[in-house]
Amino acid sequence: MGQVVSGRFYIDPPGLVEHLNQILPAQIRIFGYKCVTASFNAKKFCDRRRYVYHIPVSALDPSCHRNRASVLSSLGSGNELVKRLECSERGRKVIGVMGKRSSFEAKSTIVQSDISSNNGDNRNAVKEDNLTSELKEAADSCIQNEVTDMEDSGVGEDKVNVEKKPMEERRFCYGEEEKEIFNRILKHYVESHNFHNFTIRTKAEDPTACRYIVSFHGNTVVTVEGIDFVKCEVVGQSFMLHQIRKMIGMAIAVMRNCAPDH
């Protein structure tokens, strides 16, 4: 990743690049410099920016993730989903919307509070033992129910049959067809659009929400320590806070069939 910065430096005597590289860590290198006018500002005068993100190839596999219908059903109704997104966006939790604790978790919380606050009280120790025994009984009953369900459904027999047969591993490949689909999704971001949904604290009518994307594609696959990654490269005039990460997240959701492609 390259960056262009502006500043005032003494270039005499020669050897500025070598001297800076001796001071900087090995991961940061200076490649050169150019003399510009005193009013030049690399941040303000930049006409385009290029960012590269690497995402695992397995993250794009639709078969490894639940579809959109199952995701919505697990989250609740559409209104609750909207409230969840609003709460997460504002960084706060609304009671009754973000989920409830189960009775098992509630009992465990009571046990922990009794242990931490009343270590020396014998009566509380008895209460702790009672609650612990209740928790064990609840866990045993849950395990017993799961075993019974597995036996009724014949899962145990299927497991034995699977162990006898060699398992065929299916590996998702980012081939030409997958590349075409993913690039078609990324192409929706190209040109001028209102990206107020891809940042925070910016309204739709805010003029700063309109940004121009020059190009966005994922054509290259790189391997790092045996893991394949898709190299996503985006070029635009300017970007807002979290914009690129949210654009890639939405593209992955569409690729997984968890979100519509329009």
For residue range 163-178, what is the model confidence (pLDDT) as tens digits? 444 444 567 899 999 9
Question: Across the strands, what pairs with 213?
Answer: 191, 236
pLDDT of residue 244 exceeding 80, the answer is: yes
Helix (H) / strand (E) containing 126: helix 122-153
pLDDT of residue 32 exceeding 60, the answer is: yes
d(C-alpha 163, C-alpha 160), whole Å: 5
Q: What percent of the chain has pLDDT over 90?
A: 43
pLDDT of residue 136 exceeding 80, the answer is: no
Start-to-end CA span in the chain (Å): 32
d(C-alpha 239, C-alpha 199), whole Å: 9
In Å, how far are 107, 116, 147, 190, 215 from 141, measured between CA atoms? 16, 28, 10, 55, 57
Which residue do the tokens 């991961």 mark? 27
What's the pLDDT at 242?
95
> In the chain, what are the helix, strand and coil shares in percent, each to the nearest 5?
50, 15, 40
**Are the beta carbons of 205 and 199 closer than 8 angstroms?**
no
d(C-alpha 147, C-alpha 154), whole Å: 11
Measure the CA angle with vertex 202, ends 197 and 203; round to 5°.
80
Lowest-pLDDT range of 14-23, 79-88, 230-239:
79-88
More confident residue, 157 or 207: 207
**Are the beta carbons of 258 and 66 closer than 8 angstroms?**
yes
d(C-alpha 103, C-alpha 91), whole Å: 26
User: 0.75 exceeded by the pTM?
Assistant: no
Confidence of residue 78 (pLDDT cuts 50, 70, 90): low
Helices 122-153 and 155-164: angle between axes, nearest 10 degrees: 70
Sign of CA dihedral 181, 182, 183, 187: positive
**Are the beta carbons of 156 and 150 closer than 8 angstroms?**
yes
